[in-house]
Chains A and B, each alone.
Chain A
Amino acid sequence: MSRLKRTLFLQALLQPLTAIVLGLLVGAVLIAAIGGSVAETYAEMWKGAFGNSFFAASTLARATPIILIGLGVSLAFRAGVFNLGAEGQMVLGALSAALVALHAPGPAALKLLLALLSGMLVGGLWSAFAGWLDTRFRMNLLITTLLFNYIAVLFAGYMVSFPFKEKGGSGGAQTAMIASDVWLPKLLSGSTLHVGFAVAALAAMLLALFLRYTVKGYEIRMLGSNPLFAAYGGVRRGRVMLLSMITSGAFAGLAGTFEVLGTQYRYIDNMLSSPGFAWSGIMAALIAGSNPIGTAITAILLAALQTGGMGVERNTEIPLEISNIIQAALILFVSAKITFTFIRRRKARDADGNAV
């Protein structure tokens, strides 16, 4: 039994690793095709991501929202729910956190707490609304969550262009700056790395324990892996699904809130959509097979690819989009990999003589 577990664990680790190697290989072919030096480009990528403590800190700072979104999405995936609405949930969470941090009364600590809570609550409710439309009216969740992204981003854009636009500021679509005593403390002074990263890392561990050792966690996993069996076992699909959607949205909302309170100190139009945090988070969850710890590690890897891509663009002729291509190649390889094991398993079953 323990040997089987070890092989399974190794296999789970081997898959993403192979995919990473293949992804980097695709990147190398492209770099060589346009006449760049592969070794130099990858060296710059490494330096841009982890070259010194400043770059390493920026990589971890960028990984923070990706980890949180990835965790939320992986929880939803575990429950068999396809939540593609992380972007909208994150944006609305960030907007409400910024507005609460600016306008809530009381001492700074209270403002910070209220801002965090409102960010999570708004993200969670926006997500739950899509979940409710699915359970109550059978509206395709995949599509509603996608469309809700556009609506949320446009709505937030309106809010910071008109009613809550910074008065007398530089003229950009953004809110006023939040008072500095409501900022999240830094983990490493002089860098962009803030306390949010520690929270995200802790959340990954807690979520892993929750899924593994609690009754609710078991219900969620069962619903995702075998809905019929789950229904037979008394799991109420609607309730567990709504719960997963709320939690998943709250994670996304928290990701946006941390960006506001820890990095930008205000909500700026498109500050969350243009770096593509949401899709990176979804990719992290997909690559890691919705395993919370794996999602966190993959998120850091993706963030490293992105900050590394910036380093490449600064110091070589290769454009930064190379890292997008490597990321996409990575998921393609992982998605195919999942199937290789599936086919292998099916073949093994056939060999046992109890094929369906």
Chain B
Amino acid sequence: METLFDLNLLSSTLRIVAPLLLAALGGALCARVGLFNVALEGMMLIGAFSAILGNYLFGNVLVAVLFSCLCVGVVALLFAYLSVHLQANAIIVGIAINFLALGLTAFALFVIFGNKGQYYDPNMKGLPVWHIPIVKDIPVLGDLLSGHSPLVYLAFLLAIALQYVVYRTVPGFRLTAVGENPSAAGSLGLRVKRYQYGAVLASGVLCALAGAQLSLGQVTLFAENMTSGRGFIALVAAMLGQNNPLGVAASSLLFGFTDAISIRLQGLALPTHFTMMLPYVMTIIVMFLFKDKAYLRQSGRIGGQ
């Protein structure tokens, strides 16, 4: 057991959690205003690609991350326009955007970098690693908390900040009100659509950060479909956390931990197929234990007009 659980495991958990948590917070914000954002996966993928592209174009990591936010922001606007403005079924739009992201990133990968499958540049600088001044010298805590990319810290700070915004500020209450009962919120003079647009845009930016952490965090690399279902896991994390930012952080940590263990287990004799299954199986078990109250209302009905 000692080879399985150690500080490294917890530290890599934090790293794996960051993109998941960022995207899940985005999903939670959308759910608060009554939109089920299935497009997290696609938005994250576009974020990952545009971060690499920005880095390639501008040679500056900060500008690259901002560029990524801009690109995904445009996609989020498309999502908002179709699902809020034109009232299209958000789930259908989400599926389409996931597909669009797969096609667009692979297409752009080939057109811009002339590559198929993946793009890797060892000379390109990724996100910096931050060592927190005092914390890094504390024996155990230092190894655990220090030495991550800024986006890892940002993810957790954002979870705390959003918790405050949602439960302690007027705009936060309004956000929830819009999702609970749009017509009642509208009759009180709230600009329902404006809140919905805002939430979708915010989730776009959060997914962009999530994608940037994926592609620029450890290595500077983009691979086709590199999000590989993380967006959907983020969706589940948001749901399990009852769209409550700290709850979302807790459920994201759980998935990150399972993921870290599954990577660790691959070193043992177990076939990788089963270790890779672990996060998905874990998700289902946790879903079984925690019920989602908003499900029936949000998943909605569809099809045969």
Question: 1/0 contact trace for A102-141 toward B, CB 8 Å?
Answer: 0000000000000000000000000000000100011111
Q: Which of A34, A137, A335 interacts with B82 by CB under 8 Å?
A: A335
State whether the Cβ of A150 lies closer than 8 Å to any Cβ in chain B: yes
Binds B, one of A48-56, A188-196, A316-324: A316-324
Given A144-B287, A147-B232, A154-B277, A324 and B302 touching (CB < 8 A)? no
Measured CA separation A290–B280 after assembly (Å): 29
Query: Are B88's CB and A221's CB within 8 A?
Result: no
Query: Are A82's CB and B299's CB within 8 A?
Result: yes
Query: Are B100's CB and A325's CB within 8 A?
Result: yes
State whether the Cβ of A155 lies closer than 8 Å to any Cβ in chain B: yes
Question: 1/0 contact trace for B273-305 toward A, CB 8 Å?
Answer: 110110011011001100110011001011111
Given A319-B106, A319-B110, A279 and B304 touching (CB < 8 A)? no
State whether the Cβ of A328 lies closer than 8 Å to any Cβ in chain B: yes
State whether the Cβ of B165 lies closer than 8 Å to any Cβ in chain A: no
A71 smallest CB distance to B (angstroms): 13
Interface of B is mostly: helix
Q: Which of A80, A137, A227 interacts with B303 by CB under 8 Å?
A: A80
B77 smallest CB distance to A (angstroms): 13
Residues from 78 to 99 in B contacting A, C-beta threshold 8 Å: 78, 82, 86-89, 91-93, 95-97, 99
Measured CA separation A337–B277 after assembly (Å): 39
Q: Which chain B positions have C-beta within 8 A of A229?
A: none
Given A319-B111, A332-B82, A140 and B104 touching (CB < 8 A)? no
Q: Which residue of A lies closest to B284 (CB)?
A: A147
Question: 1/0 contact trace for B205-247 toward A, CB 8 Å?
Answer: 0000000000000000000000001001001100100000000
State whether the Cβ of A224 lies closer than 8 Å to any Cβ in chain B: yes
Q: Which chain B positions have C-beta within 8 A of A202?
A: none
State whether the Cβ of B103 lies closer than 8 Å to any Cβ in chain A: yes
Question: 1/0 contact trace for A316-344 toward B, CB 8 Å?
Answer: 00010111110111011001101110110
Q: Which chain B positions have C-beta within 8 A of A77?
A: 302-304
Query: Are B92's CB and A286's CB within 8 A?
Result: yes
Knowing that A140-B287, A321-B102 touch, tell me 14 more A-B residue pairs with CB under 8 angstroms: A77-B302, A80-B302, A137-B288, A142-B38, A142-B299, A143-B283, A150-B277, A289-B304, A319-B107, A319-B111, A332-B93, A332-B96, A335-B82, A335-B93
Chain A residues near B (Cβ < 8 Å): 30, 34, 74, 77-78, 80, 82, 133, 137-144, 146-148, 150-151, 154-155, 157-158, 161-162, 221, 224-225, 227, 279, 282-283, 285-286, 289-291, 319, 321-325, 327-329, 331-332, 335-336, 338-340, 342-343
